[in-house]
Amino acid sequence: MTEYYAHSKNSHNERHSLSKHLHQTAKFLESFACKEDYKPIFKLTGLLHDFGKYQPAFQSYLENGGQRGSVPHASWGAGYARFLRVLETSVAIDGHHKGLPDNSAWKSDTESFMRGEVSEFENIKKAFFSDTDIKETDIKIPNSLGFVEKSQREVFIRFLFSALTDSDWLSTEEHFERDTFGMRISSALPIDAMMRKLEEDFLKKSKEGEINQLRNSARDYALQKANMPCGFYSLALPTGMGKTLTSMAWALRHAKKNDLERIIIVLPYLNIIDQTAQILKNIFGEEWVLEHHSGYNEDEHNGCGVTESCSPIEERKKLACENWNYPVIVTTTVQFFESLFSNRPSRCRKIHNIAKSVMIFDEVQAIPKEVILPTLQMLKDVQAVMKTSFLFCTATQPAFEKNQGFDGISGICPLIDNPAVLYESTKRVAYHLLNDLKPIDYNGLLSSAILAGDSALVIFNTKKAALEFYNCTDKCGDWERKYHLSTAMCPTHRKAVIKNIRDDLKAKKKILVASTQLIEAGVDFDFPVVFRAIAPLEAVIQSAGRCNREGSLGELGGKVFLFKLHDGGMPNKTYAACAGHAEELIKQDINQLYGHTIFNEYYAQVIRLYIDPDKFNINEARKRFDFQTVNDAYRIIDTSTEGLYVYNYSDESRQLLHSLEYKNLLSRDDYRKMQAFTVQVYKHFIIQNASLCKLMPQGFKIWYGNYDNKKGISVAPIEADKLVL
């Protein structure tokens, strides 16, 4: 009897039986199905995915070697599944190496099988059934899954594709890397233990003062709705009211009630991830919380770089970045959504573990408005198909609800029925219009900051404006210290400056900070005075959250001054349009800023008036099952920027580069370390300063130019001592 193999020999000189691989992959797949109705199609997909490896040419390739990919095999299983009319399986198999295709490409790959034009097909079928001990009559066409919407069927294909990709890689990993496979011990979410630890943490916190009492009341309200079924929920709380731990307390109880397996927290900014993950690790322990930042070149680097000496927990976490098999995950909006809309195997591998999860989205107003409709449609489809609950958390709740002209989410259940009481009780700032919002220059703004007579945070819409204002303060002696914050500074630098600012505020030093909007979410500054350039309403409200944050100055004790700069500039046209609308609302009645519903109304208005909420026609592409097109169209971040690794930030940044520059392949860990010294710049900046940039063979660019220890990346002439490389 002929023997068939799935892969070449491993380090133990053992071949990988094709039959074993197919059955094992099918078993993994079946275990990933979140509903009983899904199991037959998941199992069938696993059994058929490498059907094409029964080709004599493929077996010869394994035996004798040859160019990788020279004997394609995915189209065979895809073709057979299409012949059987199991189209979801066909599409998933067709893409399990190259990525999910557009509909036309899938049809092209499988059309010859439908026409009976493949001469070897019957012989390969015989080999498959003989080798796997499966009878042709056992190949049952699964029952219709009954999806109402095309987009639900599309997300089911993504779910199936993700489960197939992970199952295939796990089976292959067990053959080639048994030790690595053995590290993947699945840990269930220890709900009862985590609830006890969280309760212990709550008991340690002060219950004195109105703010603490309101935090406890808000948590009690939320927990009353923890036993409700899977669906969409919202938690709208004023800034500083403990959203992180309240949402976690609700999520644990909700997971227990609905038999959910993990909690995934999605945050828009890296600095919030560090902060949130550390809070959770301090309470639950390092071993239960996985941070997965947005990685470089994820498609090209499937492995997690488990090569360096590190603890078993660290090794497990590196592996869990591949498939999110972890109890608590803290990740970025970019990582989550661009994976969910991706067609690439490595990015999609984790998606099946969204099933049976509680998803907490913090600062949801940060999702770009131009893709908000396809984003919400995707979440609706995931919730319907994958037994998932979503909780939207923010101080500024957007209008995500379905209404006339906007196909949003029906029935978002608020965890707090009357948030107006909380917002009314936490009025910590008084809003003022500087110069009645008539444009002022930097010197006029500086004079106003001096007159305020206290520590002040001044927030601008662009890096250029923040830097120019900071330069104006150079000879001003009215503050003990002055700081600049912007994304022209690498993350390590920003983190150090933020720490210094917090320390100075705690020590009651009089300081001035000139910043871009990077501090508007997740940076818990507590300034007595904040100046904010007119901006979209969410930015105005978030900025106010950095003022009198703990209420120590009493009700309305903090001062927030809104101003308009001469030639201040805006990041883009959408931002400018939203800022203009916010300005109109505020001029009509500044007291609207004290109401908790103003942002919801504003959001609905700007979507209706200024924004195409599906600018790239992604929803239609999804309904056509054009996965490649969707992948190319959906972006959370501005793709006009590129990362530059800053060589001259510090001795540490220089030493790290020298340790990596001669490695052929960089691990995910390497890229993670590099992110700490990387600045995002517009591509024209690189073109204009090409002589100071160098493209490395591994694909990243280095900035060998100057770096200012107060202002960040700089085109000023470099100091002589840094010229020696």
Supply the pLDDT for residue 638: 67
For 571-618, what is each residue's pLDDT tens digit?
A: 888 899 999 999 999 999 999 898 878 888 899 899 999 899 999 999
Instruction: Say yes or no to pLDDT of 209 above 80.
Output: no
Q: What's the pLDDT band for 165 if we cut at 50, 70, 90? A: very high
Per-residue b or e along 673-712, where b marks 16 or more CB atoms closer than 10 Å to that residue's CB: bbbbbbbbbeeebbeebeebbeeeebebebbbbbbeeebb
| CB contact at 8 A, 460 and 569 | no
Average pLDDT, the chain: 90
pLDDT of residue 9: 92
Inform me whether the pLDDT recorded for 295 exceeds 60: no
**Alpha carbons 293 and 385: distance in angstroms, whole number:** 26
Stated length of the chain: 725
Intrachain domains 191-423 and 427-595 with the same fold:
yes
What is the mean pLDDT of the segment spanning 546-569? 90
Does the structure show a pLDDT above 60 at 253? yes
Parse the chain into domains and list their residue ranges.
5-183, 191-423, 427-595, 641-722
Residue 210 token pair: 């109105």
**pLDDT tier, 719 (very low <50, low <70, confident <90, very high otherwise):** low
Token couple for 198: 């969280």
Q: What is the largest CA-CA distance in the chain?
A: 91
Burial 304-341 (b: 16+ CB within 10 A, else e): bbbeeeeeeeebbbbbbbbbbbbbbbbbbbbbbbbbbb
Cα 204 to its chain centre, rounded Å, is: 32
- Give dist(CA 156, CA 162) in Å, integer: 10
Is pLDDT at 725 greater than 50 in this prediction?
A: no
- Mean pLDDT calculated for residue range 626-655: 91
Terminal-to-terminal C-alpha distance of the chain: 64
pLDDT at 306: 42
Residue with the bigger pLDDT between 436 and 719: it is 436
pLDDT confidence tier of residue 670, bands split at 50, 70 and 90: confident
- Top mean pLDDT of 234-248, 296-310, 647-661 is at 647-661
Asked whether residue 308 carries a pLDDT value surpassing 60, the answer given is: no
Handedness of CA 667, 672, 675, 680 (dihedral sign): positive
Query: Average pLDDT for residues 104-110, to the nearest whole number?
Result: 96
* pLDDT average, residue stretch 388-411: 86
302: pLDDT strictly greater than 90: no
pLDDT band at 298 (very low <50, low <70, confident <90, very high): very low
Query: Which is more confidently placed, 140 or 602?
Result: 602
Closest to 165 in 3D by CA, of 336, 28, 354, 334: 28
Q: Is the pLDDT assigned to residue 375 strictly greater than 90?
A: yes
Instruction: Give the span between the Cα atoms of 258 and 261, in whole angstroms.
Output: 9
Comparing CA positions, the residue from 17, 54, 25 lying closest to residue 42 is 25
CB 713 within 8 A of CB 641: no
Q: What angle do CA 402, 407, 413 make, to 5 degrees?
A: 30
Q: How far is residue 119's CA from residue 152's CA, in Å, rounded to a whole number?
A: 36
Give dist(CA 433, CA 410) in Å, integer: 38
- Tokens 């965890």, residue? 415
Kindly state the helix (H) or strand (E) to which residue 428 belongs, with its residue range.
none
Q: Could you tell me which residues are beta bridge partners of residue 266?
A: 331, 361
Phi, psi (degrees; rounded to nearest 5) at 503: -60, -40
3.40.50.720, 3.40.50.300, 3.90.850.10, 3.90.650.10: which CATH number matches 191-423? 3.40.50.300
- Model-level pTM? 0.88
| H or E, element range at 262 | strand 262-267
Burial of 571 (0-12, 13-18, 19+ CB in 10 A): middle
Lowest mean pLDDT among 120-129, 167-176, 458-467, 630-639: 630-639
User: Is 396 within 8 Å of 599 (Cβ atoms)?
Assistant: yes
**Sequence-separated (6 or more) residues with CB below 8 Å from residue 565:** 439, 440, 441, 442, 445, 460, 465, 533
Share above pLDDT 70 across residues of the chain, in percent, rounded to a whole number = 96
List all residues 6 or more positions away from 239 whose beta carbon is below 8 Å from its beta carbon: 395, 542, 544, 545, 549
Compute the distance between CA of residue 292 and CA of residue 302 in angstroms, rounded to an integer. 14
Question: Which residues pair with residue 679 across a beta bridge?
Answer: 644
Task: Compute the average pLDDT of residues 669-695.
Answer: 90
CA-CA distance, 41 to 91, in Å (whole number)? 12
CATH topology of domain 427-595: Rossmann fold (3.40.50)
Residues 6 or more apart whose Cβ sits within 8 Å of residue 430: 556, 557, 558, 559, 560
At 703, the pLDDT band (50, 70, 90 cuts) reads very high
- What confidence score (pLDDT) does residue 718 get? 62
User: What was the pLDDT predicted at 667?
Assistant: 80
pLDDT for residue 146 is more than 90: no
